[in-house]
Amino acid sequence: MRVLVTYGSKLGGTAGIAELVGGALGDAGLQADVRPAPEVSGLDPYGAVVVGGALYTGRWHRDARRFVKRHTAALRERPVWLFSSGPLEDSAAGQIPPVAQVRALARQIGARSHVTFGGRLPADAKGFPARAMARTRAGDWRDPERIRAWAAEVAAAPQAAGGGPGPGQGSRRPARPSR
């Protein structure tokens, strides 16, 4: 199965997570395409999608948000997993629920799950807010082993491995009653 791993990233930390996810999916035998969200024009070639976004002051990166909004109908037809990156502290090692904005998007498309990974902020970050944060929080809180383990769970899911209905082969969710 072909899986799209797409992301919104400003300083490259989330892009790095997306590359790790894509690599782990490939190691599991899936064909993974890793692309920035603005470069994705359609989802027809993909049987599953992983969408990641950096967190900035409690908001998901706009490219990730726009991607989900632009492709809502297509995302509802295939299995989708979401990830966020951003905590710049040791809390990144624990289970962190999605921020309200991501939780709402996940419900809108019927995402199978969401995980928050630690982020990365270079000491020489550009821009006023990033530079100010870098004075006290520069570092890399991404955990490659945790990222690869989560991607392995995604790859093992029946629909990602080709074991469930794909696009055009029936819904993966029960129909909602009409009002």
Q: What is the pLDDT of residue 120?
A: 59
Q: The pTM is what?
A: 0.82
Q: What is the pLDDT of residue 13?
A: 86
Give which of 154, 168, 164 is closest to 32, Cα–Cα. Answer: 154
Ranges of each domain in the chain? 2-156
Q: Which CATH number fits domain 2-156: 3.30.365.10, 3.40.50.300, 1.10.3720.10, 3.40.50.360?
A: 3.40.50.360
State the pLDDT confidence band at 94, using cuts at 50, 70 and 90: confident
State the pLDDT confidence band at 12, using cuts at 50, 70 and 90: confident
Tell which wins on pLDDT, 22 or 123.
22
pLDDT digits (tens, 9 = 90+) for 138-164: 566 578 899 999 999 999 986 665 554
